[in-house]
Structure 1
C-alpha cells in the first residue's frame, strides 16, 4: 500500500523524524529555514499532509485552490498562524498538540517571572561584561515573589499549571480571568469578572490565552494603564496578545515595573526598544523547548495524522 506523502516544514527531533520516515513518504526541511509562501503553496498542492509550525504563516490565500493536502498536523498547541476557517472551507482538517507542553510552558513562565522579580538578566549581563564591583546592600535589589498575587489571564491547562506552581511553591494568592466559569481547582483561587479586574490587583500578570481574533492586542494601552506600577507582565502565550508599542510606552511612563516576554508579534523580529531595556526579560520562544516536550509534540502530530489516514477522527482536531 502506498504511503501518504507528508511534508515537514522545519526540523523536528530526530526520534520523531525517524518515526515519520518509517510510517510515511516524508520530506524533511534539512536546512531548517522557514518556507516561503510559494513553497508552502507547493507543499499543500503536492502532499497528502503538511506539518507546519508557528514559523509558518498559512493565510486564506494559500487555501484558494489546487490543494491536495487533506490535513495540517500543526506542531504546537497554538494555531493562530493558520487561517483555520479558510482551511476548513477548503476541506482541510487541522490538528494541534495540546496537553504535552503544559508543564514545560508553565515552568518557562515561572522562569520569566523570577527573572523579572529578581533582576536576573541585568545581573548576568553585568557579571559577564566584567562590570560587577562586588556585593553591596543596595545592589540590584528586586522584588519579593513569595506571598504576592499572581493574576492569570486564561485559566486553561497552562494557566492552571502556572497558578498551581505559584500557589503551592510561593504561597501566592491567585486571581484569574477566563471567559468560561472554571471550577474544580485543587488550589484556592478567585475568578474575577474582567481582565481589567485582574490587572488592577495582581503583582504579576501571566498571559495564557490564545492568539488571534479578538485577543489581538488584548493587552493594549488602556489595559496596561490599569496595572499597578509595581507589577510585571509575563507573556508565554502569543505575541499578538500584547500591543508591543503600547507596552514600550507604558514602561517608559513607569505604568508597570517590567515585563517577561517569550513571544513576539513579528517573530523573529523583536523591537529594539524592547531588546535594549533592562526592565524587560526576553527569551526566543522557548516555552515548550525541552527535549521531552518537543518529542511528545511530534508524536502527537503523528498520532493525529495516522488516525486521519486510517479514516478516523483525529483526537486533537481544531478545524
Structure 2
C-alpha cells in the first residue's frame, strides 16, 4: 500500500510485489488489512487505528520526519519501520536560499555582516550552516540535544533568536526534556531584532501560531516566510495573509529529494525482504540545459543562480491565491499533489558568465 503522491513509487516498488496506490490522507484500516508493507509520507498517521489487525510488517516513510509514526506501537508489534533522514535536506536549503533572495534586503544584509540563526541542527540545519559558510554568511545554531563542545556554532536559544534571519528546522516532539511543540512563543519572538525574518520550513507546531499572529500587531516589522502550518492542510488563513512568503509545505519537494527518499526506503524494504534492489537510470546533469548566471559579485550572482533554478515567488503566488477559498485545505493538498518538477541547485547545470565567479557558484550549489 503506497501513497499515490510519491513520484515513481509504483515503478520502483513493483519489483517487490503488487503495488496499490491510495491518497495518503485517505489511507484507512480497510486499505491495509491485506498489505505486507506500507509506504507513506508525513500526511498519513501510522498508529494502532490504522494498523491493528493488519498483516503489515514493514512501514517506510519517504520523509525526513517521524512524528506521524507511532514508533512505540510499531516497536511493540515487531513492525519494521524506517524514514529517509536527510533525503530532501538540500532541497530545503535551496528553499531557504530562494526565500533570502526574494525577501527585500534579506540577502544583502547577510552578505554585509548580519547573521542567520538556525533552530534545529540536524540534517537540514547542518547542511544549511555548511552552505551559508561556503557563500560567506555568518550563522549560529540552537539544538539542546547536542554537545556544544562538539559543535562550535551552537549557542543558547536567546542568542539564536537575536538574529536577522531565524530559520526553523526542528522536528516536532511533545515529550522528553526539550519538547519542540510551541517552543517559540510570543515572549521569545518579541526579542527578534527589528525587521527580522522568521522562516519556518520544519514543523508548523514549533511556533505558537495564535501568539505569533497576535504579536504581529505590535511588531509589524517582523517578516514571515512560512512553509509549514499548524492544522495542515487547513492552514490559518489570517496568518498566511500577513506572510511575505507563504507556501504549502513544499520546501523539500525537489525531484532529486523525492527520488532519494524513495530509493532509501526501497533499499530498506529490499533488505527486509532479503531481495536484491534494482535501481533505475538517473537523469544526468549533462541532460539539463545550461543556465548561464551573470554577476560580478555575490550580491548579483547568488540571486541569479538561485532564482534561475528555483524561484519561491511562484509557489507563494499560487498558495496566496487559495487563502480565501472556502475549501483551502483541499486546495492545499492539490497544490502539493500537482507540484511542478523542481531540480536542486546541486543537480542543475549552472555556468558562471564571469569565470572568476565559478568558485562562488559552486559554493551556492553546495560545492558539488
TM-score between the two structures when normalised by the length of structure 1? 0.77
Work out the CA distance in 2 between the residues paired with 1:283 and 1:35: 19
What's the counterpart of residue 166 of structure 1? 132
What's the counterpart of residue 244 of structure 2? 280
8 Å contact kept, 2:88–2:254: no
* Structure 1 unpaired stretches of 5+: 1-6, 120-141, 312-319
- Give the alignment partner of residue 30 of structure 2, picking from 42, 47, 54: 42
- Give the alignment partner of residue 290 of structure 1, picking from 251, 254, 261: 254
Work out the CA distance in 2 between the residues paired with 1:112 and 1:24: 42
1:237 is the counterpart of 2:198: no
- Evaluate the alpha carbon distance shift between residue 228 and residue 59 of structure 1 in structure 2; reply closer, same or farther with a 3 A threshold: farther
What secondary structure, in the 3-state scheme, does the structure 2 residue paired with 1:144 have?
helix
1:97 is the counterpart of 2:84: yes
What's the counterpart of residue 265 of structure 1? 230
> Which range moves more in the overlay, 175-184 or 224-233?
175-184
- Between the two proteins, the alignment pairs up a number of residues equal to 270
1:254 is the counterpart of 2:219: yes
Query: Going by fraction, where is helix more abundant, 1 or 2?
Result: 2
Work out the CA distance in 2 between the residues paired with 1:71 and 1:221: 41
Matches within 5 A, 1:169-188: 169=135, 171-179=136-144, 180-181=146-147
* Structure 2 unpaired stretches of 5+: 276-368
Matches within 5 A, 1:104-119: 104-118=91-105
1:78 is the counterpart of 2:39: no
1:226 is the counterpart of 2:191: yes
- Give the alignment partner of residue 208 of structure 1, picking from 164, 169, 178: 169
Work out the CA distance in 2 between the residues paired with 1:220 and 1:83: 27
Displacement after TM superposition at 1:190 (Å): 2.8
Displacement after TM superposition at 1:231 (Å): 1.3
Displacement after TM superposition at 1:211 (Å): 1.2
Displacement after TM superposition at 1:235 (Å): 0.9
Work out the CA distance in 2 between the residues paired with 1:268 and 1:68: 29
Work out the CA distance in 1 between the residues paired with 2:131 and 2:138: 11
8 Å contact kept, 1:232–1:257: yes
TM-score between the two structures when normalised by the length of structure 2? 0.67
What's the counterpart of residue 153 of structure 2? 190
What secondary structure, in the 3-state scheme, does the structure 1 residue paired with 2:50 have?
helix
Work out the CA distance in 2 between the residues paired with 1:299 and 1:269: 30
8 Å contact kept, 2:129–2:139: yes
What's the counterpart of residue 136 of structure 1? none
What secondary structure, in the 3-state scheme, does the structure 2 residue paired with 1:150 have?
strand
What's the counterpart of residue 40 of structure 2? 52
What's the counterpart of residue 28 of structure 1? 21
What secondary structure, in the 3-state scheme, does the structure 1 residue paired with 2:33 have?
helix
Displacement after TM superposition at 1:225 (Å): 1.9
Displacement after TM superposition at 1:75 (Å): 1.4
Displacement after TM superposition at 1:183 (Å): 6.2
Work out the CA distance in 1 between the residues paired with 2:142 and 2:56: 38
- Give the alignment partner of residue 152 of structure 1, picking from 104, 108, 118: 118
Work out the CA distance in 1 between the residues paired with 2:217 and 2:131: 31
| CA deviation profile, 1:110-152 (whole Å, cap 9, x unmatched) | 2223323448xxxxxxxxxxxxxxxxxxxxxx97231211111
Ranges of 4+ aligned residues in structure 1 off by more than 6 Å: none
Displacement after TM superposition at 1:95 (Å): 0.5
Displacement after TM superposition at 1:69 (Å): 0.6
Displacement after TM superposition at 1:9 (Å): 2.1
Displacement after TM superposition at 1:76 (Å): 0.4
Displacement after TM superposition at 1:48 (Å): 0.8
1:19 is the counterpart of 2:8: no
